[in-house]
Amino acid sequence: MNFQQLRIIRETVRQQFNLTEAAGALHTSQSGVSKHIKDLEDELGVELFVRKGKRLLGLTKPGEEVALIVERILIDAENVKKIGDRYADRDEGHLTIATTHTQARYALTDVVRRFRLAFPKVHLALHQGSPTEIADMVTRGEAEIGIATETLAQAPQLATFPFYTWTHGVIVPKGHPLESMTPLTLAALAEHPIITYHEGFTGRGNIDAAFSEAGLAPDIVMSAMDTDVLKTYVGLGLGVGIIASMTYVDQCDGGLSLLNANALFPMNTTWIAVRRGSVLRRFAYKFIELCSSSLDEKTVRSSAVSHPDGAPQRRPAAFLVPGGAHPAK
């Protein structure tokens, strides 16, 4: 048994049992992948995969148990190197953060600035994607930290921590009739074409739920993942926008008015996620602590100590709205 065999087992499962894809991901040949799998099965005396001819269809019962152990072994092997780096106090290397456009553009700018000042030798990579893609990147170890509102807290292989809470707001071109409506209502909003986030992004589920519970069917004429895109089309008069309130910047969005919609939509929570069982470099823990001072290394490590097959546990932590204001109760 060797590490290459273990990596092949893990990658074969990750690639949905497609040996060609597994070989490509590991930069080796398909025949080599097949041989390593067969050699390990011969050594163990059991078949790990369900087969139909030369195709792999899934894991056998012993294969399921082995796959879980393989994941733990490979994570711990990575941890050995990270522990050495941490105690050697080497504050250089790479840190990959997987997040959405909204978080990268509006919530993380000051965190990134302070991190770069504290760790100038660390190459910081921000990968933007959907919440599902972010969860997958952290689970696979392709990113050390994930930050998003949706999906992360439901992923059992991730330990998640609240970053901050936020609310949706309504934006309209200055002079729009809704500016004078007090209080703003969902029924009034539903009388106008609406521009908001794509499904699965930036609290869209809470927006849909609010209208549904009120028995309203809003005319959502445009959706996007990028808040700046939404603001552009609202400015062109194509509809009323529902956006994350913190993304409205008075100096940049002077042609628009932000209307308070706190009473209309539920509060949202953005989460920070790390892979369970994984040890991070010292500077990765510091990045998380810059996001929330209550999330020090000890707190994060104690919650993330279980392996990926463990039950999800989320440790509560104090968290703030960007800019320092305490969230609404």
Sorted by where each starts, the structural domains of the chain and their CATH numbers stand as: 3-84 (1.10.10.10), 92-165+268-303 (3.40.190.10), 168-260 (3.40.190.10)
Task: Please tell me the predicted confidence (pLDDT) of residue 163.
Answer: 96
E-assigned strand segments in the chain: 49-52, 55-59, 93-99, 122-128, 145-148, 158-166, 168-173, 194-197, 220-224, 240-244, 256-260, 268-275
What is the pLDDT of the chain when averaged over all its residues? 87
Task: Please tell me the predicted confidence (pLDDT) of residue 290.
Answer: 97
Q: Is 311 exposed, middle or buried (0-12, 13-18, 19+ CB in 10 A)?
A: exposed
Task: Please tell me the predicted confidence (pLDDT) of residue 273.
Answer: 97
Task: Please tell me the predicted confidence (pLDDT) of residue 205.
Answer: 95
- Exposed e or buried b for every residue in 201-225, given b needs 16+ CB within 10 A? bbbbbbbeebbeeeeeebebebebb
pLDDT tens column, 244-303: 999 999 888 989 999 999 999 999 999 999 999 888 888 999 999 999 999 999 999 888
Residues in the chain: 329
Task: Please tell me the predicted confidence (pLDDT) of residue 149.
Answer: 95
pLDDT tens column, 176-198: 999 999 899 999 999 999 999 99
Which of 292, 304, 317, 300 lies closest to 111 in space, CA to CA?
292
- Exposed e or buried b for every residue in 151-165, given b needs 16+ CB within 10 A? bbbebebbbbbbbbb
Its pTM stands at: 0.72
d(CA 25, CA 19): 10
Spell out, as residue ranges, where the chain has pLDDT lower than 50: 310-329
